[in-house]
Amino acid sequence: MIFLSGWACHETDLIRRIRLFIEVDTGSTQIVDAEMGYARGDVAAHFPDIPTATKAGFIVYGGWGSAMLRSLRIEFDCANAASTNISLFPLTGTAFSLRRAARSAGLLWSKGAQLIKTHGVHGTLTKVRNYARRRTKIDESALLALIASAKGARVVWIIDHDMGGGANQYRYQYVQSCLNEGKVVVVLSFQVASLGYFIQFHANDRVDRYAIGTLDDACEVARQLQIVQLVYNCAVSFREPIQVCKLLVRLRNEMGCELLVLLHDYFPVCPSHVLLNSDTTYCGLPDRLTCDACLNAHSGGFVSMANVRDIELWRKEWGRLIELADEVQVFSPSSWKLLLRAYPTISHARWRLYPHALPTQFPSLTLKAGKSLHIGVVGTLGIHKGANVVAGIAQEIQDARLSIPITIFGTSQTSEPSPGVRVTGPYTPESLPTLVDASGANVFLFASIWPETFSYVAHELCSMGLPVVCFDMGAQADLIHFYRKGTVIKLAKSRDLLEELVRVWEESYLLMNKFI
C-alpha cells in the first residue's frame, strides 16, 4: 500500500488531474486518482502570483495486494501543457529535478522527494515511521498492563475508521453511552497516513492509543477481554476489509457475544462505499458483470486499498457478517432498500431503522429574498458531496453573466477557484445559524451526488427552516420529499440545475410575497 501527500501547482496553467500509476509483476497497471483541491495557505503565501496555489494540496492512496511491485509513478495532467511524470519507484536520480519539472509543466514540489534527496531512502523511511507513531504509543508492556486492568470489565469492541465525518461522530456518542453504563470500550482502527492498525482503550475519562501489527494481533488482544458486544461501525480505508469481516465473525462465534452492524455507508455492499462508479456517477446497484467491469476500471483510492475487484466475493464475505448479526441498523428507508437489493436472500428480520438525532439544536431562521437568488451550500464538499456540481453551476453563472452569488459554508475540494463563490472555511455546528443568517444566502443546495445513508447537514438545514433543494436519491431525498420547504430534483446539466434553483427562489419568495 502507499499513501502520499503533497502539493502541485503551475505558474500559468491548471493541473486538472493527478494520477498514481501502480505497475506490478503480472504486467497489469492500476491507475488511482488523487484527491485534489486541499487548501494550502503556506503555498499560497510563498507563491502569491499563482492563483491555483491556494488549493494546491493533494493526497493519493492505493494498494496492490500480494503482487510484487514493479514501479510507481505519479502523473500531473495540465489543461494546456504536456503532462509531467515523476517516478516514485524505482527511484530515478533526475525524476525529482525541480528545474526539469519547471521546464516541462511549471512548478512542482514534493516533500517526499526533498526528504529522499536530503536523508536518503533509509533516513526518509525512518522519518515517516516516526511521524506515523507520533500520536500512537508502541509500548507493548503498557498495552499488556492495560489489558490486565480490563480483566472482568464488560468490553464493547468497535471497528471504525479514523477519518472524521458522520460515522466517527456517531461512534463518539456511542462510546460515551457505553462509558456511562460502566463499560470499557476498545476501538480497532486504521491510520491511513501510517498504513497501520491501532487500538484505543476508553475507560472512564482516560483514552490510551497503541499501534498494533496485524488483525491477528488484534484478535489476540480481543481474546483476553470479556467482550459483551462487537460493533461494526465502518471499515472504509482499512487495509484488509475482507479480513475485518472474518475477524468479527470469528470473535462472534468464539465469544457468543452480541454483534451489531451499522450501515453508515455502503461499504458492506461495494468497495466503492458511496456507490459512485468508475465514471463518478451513482451506479444504482447494477448486475454482477457490470459491477465487476466497474471495479476493475475504478480509479478510486479506497477501491484500490480494498483490493477486491470481484463483487460476488465481496458480498459473499460481507453477507456472512450481515447474516450473523444480532441487529443491523440502517438510518434511512432508502438505505434499507439498497441493502435489501444487494442481499435479497438474507433475512431482514433483525434489521432496524433508527434515524439519527441531531446533537445540536438549531433555531428557526427567517431569510430575506434579496434582489436575486443567492445559493448556499453547507459542508465539506468532496467529489461525492457535489464539489463539481457547485463548480459547474458557478461556471454557468459566469458564462451567462448573471449576478447570482454562491456561498459555501465549509470547504470545497476543487483544484481551481470557482468564479463568484465565497468559501467561509470550516465551522462549528453551533456557529452555522449565525453564519447563514448573516450571509444573504436564500436557497440552499444539498449537492451530494451519492445516496446518503443519513445526513446531519440536511437535517440541520431543515431544522433551521431553510428552502432546501437536493437530488432524487438516498436519505436526503427521503427527508426533503416530506419537508415543507424542500424540493427534490433530478441531477442534470449545470444550466438546468441553475434554472431549477431560480424557480425555487421565485416560488419561495417572490410568488409568496405577491399573494401576501
Q: For the segment 375-424, what is each residue's pLDDT rounded down to a tens digit? A: 999 999 999 999 999 999 999 999 999 999 999 999 998 866 677 899 99
Indicate whether 191 belongs to any domain. Answer: yes
DSSP state of 96: T
For residue 336, give its domain range: 140-353
Cell of 392: 459547474
Q: Quick one: 491 exposed, middle or buried, by C-beta within 10 A (0-12, 13-18, 19+)? A: middle
The answer to whether residues 109 and 7 touch, using CB atoms and an 8 Å cutoff, is yes
Among 26-30, 230-234, 326-330, the range scoring the smallest mean pLDDT is 26-30
Q: State residue 33's pLDDT score.
A: 96
Indicate whether 359 belongs to any domain. Answer: no
Q: At what angle do helices 215-223 and 241-255 cross, to 10 degrees?
A: 20
**Final residue of a structural domain among 288, 319, 353:** 353
> How much is the average pLDDT of 338-348?
97
Of 150, 169, 162, 152, which is closest to residue 187 (Cα–Cα)? 162
Q: State residue 516's pLDDT score.
A: 36
Q: State residue 230's pLDDT score.
A: 98
In single-letter form, the type of residue at position 374 comes to: H
Q: Are residues 112 and 180 in the same domain?
A: no
Q: Are residues 231 and 315 in the same domain?
A: yes
- 204: helix, strand or coil: coil
CATH code, domain carrying 476: 3.40.50.2000
Q: What is the mean pLDDT of the chain?
A: 88
The dihedrals phi and psi of 204, each to the nearest 5 degrees, come to 55, -125
Q: For the segment 449-475, what is each residue's pLDDT rounded down to a tens digit? A: 999 999 999 999 999 999 999 999 999
Indicate whether 361 belongs to any domain. Answer: no
Q: Are residues 197 and 315 in the same domain?
A: yes
Q: Are residues 300 and 416 in the same domain?
A: no
Q: Are residues 304 and 411 in the same domain?
A: no
* Percentage of the chain exceeding pLDDT 90: 72
The dihedrals phi and psi of 470, each to the nearest 5 degrees, come to -140, 170
Q: State residue 496's pLDDT score.
A: 97
Q: Are residues 385 and 443 in the same domain?
A: yes
Cell of 287: 448486475
Distance in angstroms (rounded) separating the CA atoms of residues 56 and 8: 5
pLDDT of 123 strictly over 70: no
Please list, in sequence order, all residues whose beta carbon lies within 8 angstroms of the beta carbon of residue 36, skipping any fewer than 6 positions away.
15, 17, 18, 55, 57, 58, 413, 414, 415
- Per the listing, cell 493533494 goes with 58
Q: Are residues 401 and 291 in the same domain?
A: no
DSSP state of 32: E
DSSP state of 345: T
Distance in angstroms (rounded) separating the CA atoms of residues 388 and 377: 12
pLDDT bin (cut points 50, 70, 90) of residue 148 is: confident
Indicate whether 187 belongs to any domain. Answer: yes
Q: For the segment 486-506, what is each residue's pLDDT rounded down to a tens digit? A: 999 999 999 999 999 999 999
Q: What angle do CA 5, 74, 292 make, to 5 degrees?
A: 95
pLDDT of 336 strictly over 90: yes
Of 188, 271, 195, 209, which is closest to residue 239 (Cα–Cα)? 195
Indicate whether 16 belongs to any domain. Answer: yes
> What domain count does the chain have?
3
* Percentage of the chain exceeding pLDDT 70: 89
Indicate whether 296 belongs to any domain. Answer: yes
Q: Are residues 288 and 409 in the same domain?
A: no
pLDDT of 281 strictly over 80: yes
Distance in angstroms (rounded) separating the CA atoms of residues 133 and 194: 8
Q: For the segment 67-122, what is each residue's pLDDT rounded down to a tens digit? A: 899 999 999 999 888 888 888 888 654 333 333 333 333 333 344 444 444 445 44
Indicate whether 360 belongs to any domain. Answer: no
pLDDT bin (cut points 50, 70, 90) of residue 511 is: low
Bigger pLDDT: 212 vs 489:
489
CA-only gyration radius of the chain, Å: 24
Distance in angstroms (rounded) separating the CA atoms of residues 453 and 468: 18
Task: Give pTM, 2 decimals.
Answer: 0.87
The answer to whether residues 275 and 335 touch, using CB atoms and an 8 Å cutoff, is no
pLDDT of 305 strictly over 80: yes
CATH code, domain carrying 51: 2.60.40
Q: Where are the alpha helices (DSSP H) in 47-139?
A: 98-105, 111-132
Q: State residue 42's pLDDT score.
A: 94
Q: Are residues 335 and 453 in the same domain?
A: no
Q: State residue 513's pLDDT score.
A: 53
Q: Are residues 180 and 196 in the same domain?
A: yes
Distance in angstroms (rounded) separating the CA atoms of residues 423 and 48: 19
Question: CA 326, 332, 335, 336 torsion: positive or negative?
Answer: positive
Q: Which residues pair with 33 in a beta bridge?
A: 19
Q: State residue 141's pLDDT score.
A: 78
The answer to whether residues 386 and 36 touch, using CB atoms and an 8 Å cutoff, is no
Of 370, 504, 498, which is closest to residue 439 (Cα–Cα)? 370
> How much is the average pLDDT of 159-186?
94
Q: State residue 512's pLDDT score.
A: 52
Q: Are residues 147 and 177 in the same domain?
A: yes
pLDDT of 147 strictly over 60: yes
Strand-strand pairing, 84-89 and 29-33? unpaired
Q: Are residues 406 and 387 in the same domain?
A: yes
Indicate whether 319 belongs to any domain. Answer: yes
Q: State residue 92's pLDDT score.
A: 55
Among 40-49, 82-91, 176-185, 500-509, the range scoring the smallest mean pLDDT is 82-91
Cell of 62: 492505493
**Final residue of a structural domain among 86, 107, 132:** 132
Q: State residue 348's pLDDT score.
A: 95
- 124: helix, strand or coil: helix
Q: State residue 108's pLDDT score.
A: 38
Q: State residue 126's pLDDT score.
A: 52
**Final residue of a structural domain among 132, 160, 175:** 132
> How much is the average pLDDT of 213-241?
94
State the SS3 of 446-489. ECCCCCCCCCHHHHHHHHCCCCEEEECCHHHHHHHCCCCCEEEE
